[in-house]
Amino acid sequence: EPEVTQTPSHQVTQMGQEVILRCVPISNHLYFYWYRQILGQKVEFLVSFYNNEISEKSEIFDDQFSVERPDGSNFTLKIRSTKLEDSAMYFCASTGGGTYSYEQYFGPGTRLTVT
């Protein structure tokens, strides 16, 4: 069964460093999402991406964040200068949309720890 994959599973970085979280969505999906979950809190929407551009973003997704689909398979989330409060689990998701289902398929997550 197709699945969404994410790398790395755990990333430790120092405050102020740039990190790139990588996701490989399901191959025929059209809509891509990043969510985050701070430990002990609920999941929060960050950004959605469709047709090679951001379609929606939350207040959390400020200028420090960017997303990119550099090739036909990868979908990345970059945090330019990490802060302690960026420590969280980051989930990537994809959905087919259109004539496909809008059911979202989630990757296993990347745990980001900023020290």
Partner 1 sequence: KNEVEQSPQNLTAQEGEFITINCSYSVGISALHWLQQHPGGGIVSLFMLSSGKKKHGRLIATINIQEKHSSLHITASHPRDSAVYICAPSPASNYQLIWGAGTKLIIKP
Residues making contact with partner 1 (CB under 8 A): 31, 33, 35, 37, 42-45, 48, 55-56, 89, 91, 95, 97, 101-106, 108-109, 111
Q: CB of 88: closest distance to partner 1 in angstroms?
A: 11
Judge if the upstream peptide bond of residue 8 is cis by omega within 30 degrees of 0.
yes
Provide, rounded to whole angstroms, the least separation between the CB of residue 103 and partner 1.
5
Question: Minimum Å distance from CB 12 to partner 1?
Answer: 16
Q: What is the DSSP letter of 85?
A: G
Distance from CA of residue 74 to its chain's centroid?
A: 11
Q: How far is the CB of 91 from partner 1 (least distance, A)?
A: 6
Return the number of the residue (16 or 97) whose C-beta is nearest partner 1: 97
Task: Name which of 7 and 44 has its Cβ closer to partner 1.
Answer: 44
Are 76 and 23 a contacting pair, CB within 8 Å? yes
Sign for the CA dihedral angle at 88, 94, 98, 103 comes to negative
Residue 56 or 68 having the CB closest to partner 1: 56
Q: Which is nearer to partner 1, 14 or 52 (CB)?
A: 52
Helices (H) and strands (E) in the chain, counts: 0, 11
The whole-angstrom separation of Cα 63 and Cα 15 is: 16
